[in-house]
């Protein structure tokens, strides 16, 4: 474990106009996707204009606003969904995971879990871990990694079935995690990034003041694991841990955003935000970077203010002509945030932390967000400058948690096989760059339901699955 060896500057708040682009995600396109499922915290892939959704939940945030504390089987998404966007309007297909044969019983349980770790590697989707009820009705974090052949899966689901032959899997505690990230880098290895294992009833965990016992426990991984995943016997995978990076201080995170990142060091991974800091029960603010064949680096000079919980991410890369300067832009849409941006005062405002769960007024400091923020990481030889910009336009509601950004497949990538879009071809115009899909929609404020009203207590915020499917436009005109 090491700190970032370059000089990283914490800049004052940068005005949105200092970015080379503006983001707009206000237009609802849900009428163009009849029958699309309302789900959150799922695994996702897309192939040739067809969207694939697997796992997650059909309910809002658990244990808040009168919702069930447990992750009930009835709230689990037990369907594999395919949305064909190559036709207008889009067509929706689905097939039940219960069709999977007994030989794939552990996969059946995993595919109905939530907060899975997943990564699309070309025509294959890898899914690790996840939390939910297993075949015996016990709540577990699943020690399984599965791989599905997307062309086979899509074809079968469009005919109401799930092709068992499209699935390979392995059982291993090395992949037992929920709320972390899974990514493959150019070195050919997979990296399982943080998360936690939760086993047992969430209601029972609350009942014992969130302390571990024989029947229920929560353990943070505090690790990034470098994994080698290969084919074993037919239908099986082999998983081995090549290297483990551990940091109980900075890796004690779940429900974070793990994304690919480009820099002068090549392709790497970035870990942004995540919860909960042990002493204050707030979010983490220091990004963690790792580049293939290297060690994790904590950006100790930068504090992420906004949108530090699992949410959609738009990735853009800019190389400044013949110069050595490169810029990576990571835009985060809503979710849950420690701060909000006061546009009139041009400053970040810390959300209040008041009381406790047993008191009449309780605000935990992590508020639902309707703002869009961009982390801008500029890099020259021997120097990195990281800043955070809040977009002028926000979201039409408090959403983003457990949702995904689906980039338009025809747009040029800055690095093959990733969702990092190349900024250069987008200059001088306004472009539809993708969609925000799924997740949770919350009502954190009382009537009239905006930020001028009294906030609802933490733990009493009404929420549901989000029904909006938002078009995301990038305006790089005149820049």
Does 195 reside within a domain? yes
Number of domains present in the structure of the chain = 2
Does 261 reside within a domain? no
Q: How far apart are CA 274 and CA 271, in angstroms?
A: 8
Window from 99-103, 203-207, 446-450 with minimum mean pLDDT: 203-207
Q: What is the mean pLDDT of the chain?
A: 92
Does 325 reside within a domain? yes
Partners of 372 in the beta sheet?
333
- CB atoms inside a 10 Å sphere around CB 446: 11
Phi, psi dihedrals of residue 195, rounded to the nearest 5°: 90, -170
> For tokens 């309302």, what's the residue?
38
User: pLDDT tens digits, residue range 117-171?
Assistant: 999 999 999 999 999 998 888 999 999 999 999 999 999 999 999 999 999 999 9
> Using an 8 Å Cβ cutoff, are 289 and 261 in contact?
yes
Does 224 reside within a domain? yes
Nearest 5°: the CA angle 186, 192, 195 is 150
Picking from 195, 220, 254, the residue at the C-terminal end of a domain is 254
> For tokens 């069930």, what's the residue?
68
pTM of structure: 0.94
- What's the average model confidence in pLDDT over 101-114? 97
Is there a single domain that holds both residue 98 and residue 239? Answer: yes
Is there a single domain that holds both residue 158 and residue 294? Answer: no
Is there a single domain that holds both residue 159 and residue 306? Answer: no
Please, is 358 exposed, middle or buried when counting C-beta atoms within 10 Å of its C-beta (0-12, 13-18, 19+)? Answer: exposed
**What's residue 119's pLDDT?**
98
Phi, psi dihedrals of residue 426, rounded to the nearest 5°: -95, 0
Please, is 226 exposed, middle or buried when counting C-beta atoms within 10 Å of its C-beta (0-12, 13-18, 19+)? Answer: buried
Q: How far apart are CA 101 and CA 103, in angstroms?
A: 5
Picking from 213, 231, 254, the residue at the C-terminal end of a domain is 254
Q: Is the peptide bond before 412 cis (omega within 30 degrees of 0)?
A: no
Is there a single domain that holds both residue 26 and residue 55? Answer: no
> Using an 8 Å Cβ cutoff, are 366 and 351 in contact?
yes
Does 18 reside within a domain? yes
Is the pLDDT confidence value at 8 over 70?
no
Q: How far apart are CA 273 and CA 312, in angstroms?
A: 13
Q: Which of 199-208, 392-401, 442-451 has maximum average pLDDT?
A: 392-401
Is there a single domain that holds both residue 137 and residue 279? Answer: no
Write a three-state SS string for 398-445.
Answer: EECCCEEEEECCCCCECCCCCCEEECHHHCCCEEEEEEEEECEEECCE
Taking the CA atoms of residue 5, residue 11, residue 15 and residue 17 in that order, the dihedral angle to the nearest 10 degrees is: -40
**What's residue 190's pLDDT?**
98
Residue percentage of the chain with pLDDT more than 90? 82
Closest-CA residue to 109 (of 128, 132, 125): 132
The parent domain of residue 325 ranges over 1-34+268-479
Does 259 reside within a domain? no
User: pLDDT tens digits, residue range 367-409?
Assistant: 999 999 999 999 987 789 999 999 999 999 999 999 999 999 9
Is there a single domain that holds both residue 69 and residue 209? Answer: yes
Is there a single domain that holds both residue 196 and residue 94? Answer: yes
Picking from 208, 225, 254, the residue at the C-terminal end of a domain is 254
Is there a single domain that holds both residue 245 and residue 281? Answer: no
Does 260 reside within a domain? no
Helices and strands (H, E) in the chain, number of each type: 3, 38
Is the pLDDT confidence value at 250 over 70?
yes
CA 437 to chain centroid, in Å, comes to 12
Is the pLDDT confidence value at 427 over 50?
yes
Is there a single domain that holds both residue 285 and residue 174? Answer: no
**What's residue 201's pLDDT?**
87
Does 263 reside within a domain? no
Window from 133-137, 279-283, 361-365 with minimum mean pLDDT: 133-137
**What's residue 214's pLDDT?**
85
Taking CA atoms, 470 is separated from 9, 417, 435, 473, 475, in Å, by 34, 24, 5, 10, 16
Is there a single domain that holds both residue 21 and residue 91? Answer: no
Residues in the chain: 479
**What's residue 403's pLDDT?**
98
Is the pLDDT confidence value at 5 over 60?
no
Window from 24-28, 90-94, 213-217 with minimum mean pLDDT: 213-217
Q: How far apart are CA 289 and CA 264, in angstroms?
A: 13
- List, in sequence order, every beta strand (DSSP E) within 61-180: 79-84, 91-96, 117-121, 124-128, 131-133, 139-141, 144-149, 167-171
> Using an 8 Å Cβ cutoff, are 272 and 375 in contact?
yes
Is there a single domain that holds both residue 155 and residue 191? Answer: yes
Backbone φ/ψ region at 357: left (φ over 0), alpha (ψ -120 to 50), beta: alpha
Is there a single domain that holds both residue 440 and residue 311? Answer: yes
């Amino acid at each position: 474990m090491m700190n970032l060896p370059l000089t990283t500057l914490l800049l004052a708040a940068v005005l949105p106009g200092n970015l080379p682009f503006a983001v707009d995600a206000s237009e609802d396109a849900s009428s163009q996707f009849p029958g699309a499922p309302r789900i959150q915290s799922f695994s996702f892939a897309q192939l040739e204009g067809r969207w694939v959704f697997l796992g997650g939940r059909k309910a809002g945030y658990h244990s808040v606003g009168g919702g069930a504390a447990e992750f009930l089987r009835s709230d689990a998404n037990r369907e594999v969904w395919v949305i064909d966007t190559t036709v207008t309007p889009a067509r929706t297909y689905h097939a039940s995971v219960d069709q999977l044969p007994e030989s794939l019983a552990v996969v059946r349980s995993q595919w109905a879990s939530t907060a899975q770790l997943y990564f699309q590697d070309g025509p294959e989707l890898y899914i690790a871990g996840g939390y939910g009820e297993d075949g015996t009705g016990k709540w577990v974090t699943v020690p399984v990694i599965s791989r599905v052949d997307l062309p086979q899966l899509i074809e079968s689901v469009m005919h109401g079935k799930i092709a068992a032959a499209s699935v390979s899997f392995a059982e291993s505690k090395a992949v037992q995690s929920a709320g972390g990230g899974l990514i493959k880098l150019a070195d050919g290895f997979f990296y399982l990034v943080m998360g936690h294992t939760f086993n047992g009833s969430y209601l029972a965990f609350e009942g014992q003041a969130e302390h571990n016992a024989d029947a229920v426990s929560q353990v943070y991984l505090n690790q990034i694991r470098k994994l080698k995943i290969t084919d074993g016997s037919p239908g099986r995978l082999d998983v081995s841990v090549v290297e483990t990076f551990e940091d109980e201080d900075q890796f004690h995170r779940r429900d974070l955003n793990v994304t690919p990142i480009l820099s002068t060091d090549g392709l790497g991974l970035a870990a942004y935000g995540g919860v909960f800091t042990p002493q204050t029960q707030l979010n983490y603010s220091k990004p963690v970077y790792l580049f293939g064949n290297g060690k994790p680096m904590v950006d100790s000079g930068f504090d992420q203010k906004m949108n530090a919980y699992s949410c959609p991410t738009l990735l853009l890369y800019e190389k400044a002509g013949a110069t050595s300067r490169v810029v990576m832009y990571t835009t985060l849409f809503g979710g849950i945030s420690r701060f909000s941006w006061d546009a009139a005062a041009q400053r970040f405002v810390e959300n209040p932390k008041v009381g406790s769960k047993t008191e009449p007024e309780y605000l935990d400091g992590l508020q639902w967000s309707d703002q869009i923020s961009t982390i801008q990481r500029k890099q020259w030889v021997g120097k990195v400058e990281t800043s955070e910009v809040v977009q002028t336009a926000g979201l039409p509601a408090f959403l983003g948690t457990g949702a995904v950004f689906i980039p338009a497949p025809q747009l040029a990538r800055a690095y093959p096989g990733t969702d990092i879009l190349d900024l250069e071809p987008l200059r001088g115009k306004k472009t539809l760059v993708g969609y925000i899909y799924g997740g949770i929609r919350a009502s954190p404020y009382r009537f009239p339901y905006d930020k001028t009203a009294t906030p609802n207590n933490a733990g009493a915020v009404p929420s549901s699955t989000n029904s909006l499917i938002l078009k995301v436009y990038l305006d790089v005109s005149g820049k």
